[in-house]
Amino acid sequence: MAKFRFLQTPLQLKSLSLKNRLVMPPMCQYSAKDGVPNDWHFVHYTSRAVGGVGLIIIEMTNVAPNGRISPRCLGLWNDEQRDAFKRIVDAVHAQGGKIGIQIAHAGRKAQDCDDVVAPSAIHYGQEDFPGQHLKTPRALTEDEIEQIIQAFQHSVKRAVEAGFDMIELHGAHGYLIHQFSSPKSNHRDDSYGQDRFLFGEKVIKAAKSVMPADMPLAIRISAQEYSENGYDSDYGVQMAMRFKAAGVDIFDVSGGGNGVLHPNHHPQFNAGYQVYLARKIKQATQLPVIAVGLLDDPSLADHVLGIGDADLIAVGRGLLRDPYWYLNAQYKQNASDSTGVESVPPQYQRGYM
């Protein structure tokens, strides 16, 4: 029996059939021009498919030019961008992988932008961004909010047209959906302030309206904030339940990102430090969850799956260091497992015998 049998176990999520439980999470590459993916992105993502990753999620891809973290971030607000993504999608599929994309708007965390917007005109706090000079945003009007919701919808529609297997909305780490959801960053007195989950709910419903019924929709959430006066995980559960009711099929569970870290409010950044959040959201919503947070050790990743705290494991830094993390995790330590060699690309099999 393979050592990491839980990592190797297939998973079915609506129409999405995954050959294993490993996820490459969205990690910005800051390498695009005009939001268009290029050869760097093609090699970066396709190589992880060659390496056996079950589900690759393209980095934060934005619905508008002023929704990018930086001018080098990806976008999906036009058809040129859509067509460039299709090349990556087709290449990942050719290697037997599945691929999703994270759709987002940076809100007040947009850098080098002349029109920084947010629910309220509240500065993020400079200490987390030395030398990056975040601006105080202007508050969005209600008409502009509706336009952004439509922009999310249009980007999701383009993602479906490009052939992606799943969609993830970015509702975490202090970006726009999170900004609306949090009492720290949303001080509005209209319906979007009286009901802080309304914006996220509307984005979810707009996305679902242009997705095939059997395509899974994920959302990444910060289930707890680690900054001063940040919300706790009970509030995170309320948010998750609301987003589940709106149509979310799977939660990508993270934390923090909406304000400068406070020494008395953030966790120790140890291996698996956010798994407790995944477990709590999974138990509350009864939906599949992706666990994140320094899970680079394959034994730990397999353990988290084995005890049922998560359904999928996101390995970020490990996959940046090694596109073949999954192959090496299994086969370097289990060279006698002949069943595993069959899933290694034929060109590489001699290296795993």
The C-alpha atoms of residue 55 and residue 201 are separated, in whole angstroms, by: 25
pLDDT band at 119 (very low <50, low <70, confident <90, very high): very high
Q: E strand or H helix at 58, and its extent?
A: strand 55-62
Task: Give the span between the Cα atoms of 104 and 151, in whole angstroms.
Answer: 10
**Under DSSP, is residue 96 helix (H, G, I), strand (E, B) or coil?**
coil
- Report pLDDT for 349: 84
Q: How far is it, in rounded angstroms, from Cα 224 to Cα 261?
A: 12
Q: Give the mean pLDDT of 302-317.
A: 97
Spatial separation of the C-alpha atoms in residues 131 and 179, rounded to whole Å: 22
Which residues are within 8 A (CB) of 11 and not within 5 positions of it... i.e. 6 or more apart?
17, 18, 20, 21, 54, 288, 311, 312
| Least confident piece of the model among 130-139, 169-178, 215-224 | 130-139
What mean pLDDT comes out for the span 157-177? 98
Is the model's pLDDT at 141 over the cut of 70?
yes
Q: Average of pLDDT values for 200-229? A: 96
pLDDT score of 156 more than 70: yes
Give the list of residues 6+ apart from residue 293 with CB closer than 8 angstroms, or none: 254, 255, 271, 272, 273, 274, 275
Which 8-state DSSP code applies to residue 227? B
Least confident of 84-88, 195-199, 204-208, 266-270: 266-270
* 238 band by pLDDT with thresholds 50, 70 and 90: very high
How many Cβ atoms sit within 10 Å of the Cβ of residue 350? 9
pLDDT category, 126, cuts 50, 70, 90? low
d(CA 297, CA 254): 18
Q: What confidence tens digit (pLDDT) does each residue in 34-79 have?
A: 999 999 999 999 999 999 999 999 999 999 999 999 999 999 999 9
pLDDT of residue 330: 76
pLDDT range class, residue 4, cuts 50, 70, 90: confident
Indicate the pLDDT class of residue 147, thresholds 50, 70 and 90.
very high
Question: In this model, does residue 336 exceed pLDDT 50?
Answer: no
* Reported confidence tier of residue 338, pLDDT bands at 50, 70, 90: very low
The per-residue pLDDT of the chain, averaged, comes to 93
Sign of the CA dihedral running 170, 173, 178, 179: negative
Query: Which residues contact residue 130 at a Cβ distance below 8 angstroms, ignoring those fewer than 6 apart?
Result: none
Which whole number is the average pLDDT over 109-137? 84
What's the pLDDT at 96? Answer: 95
| Interior angle at CA 100, CA 96 and CA 102, nearest 5 | 155
pLDDT of 257 strictly over 70: yes
**Is pLDDT of 80 > 50?**
yes
Judged by DSSP in three states, 218 sits in strand
223-236 per-position pLDDT tens digit: 999 988 899 999 99
The pLDDT assigned to 322 comes to 96
What average pLDDT score do residues 334-351 get?
A: 67
Closest CA to 287 of 325, 316, 244: 244
> What pLDDT does 69 receive?
96
Give the pLDDT confidence score for residue 5 in this predicted structure: 87
Q: Which of 110-114, 125-129, 321-325, 348-352 has the lowest mean pLDDT?
A: 125-129
- Residue 263 DSSP SS3: coil
Average pLDDT over residues 3-18: 93
- Name the pTM for this structure: 0.94
When pLDDT is averaged across residues 92-106 and rounded to a whole number, the result is: 97
Is the CB of residue 19 less than 8 Å from the CB of residue 96? Answer: yes
Average pLDDT over residues 312-320: 97
Report the run of H or E that residue 180 belongs to, with start and end: helix 176-181
Give the pLDDT score at 244: 98
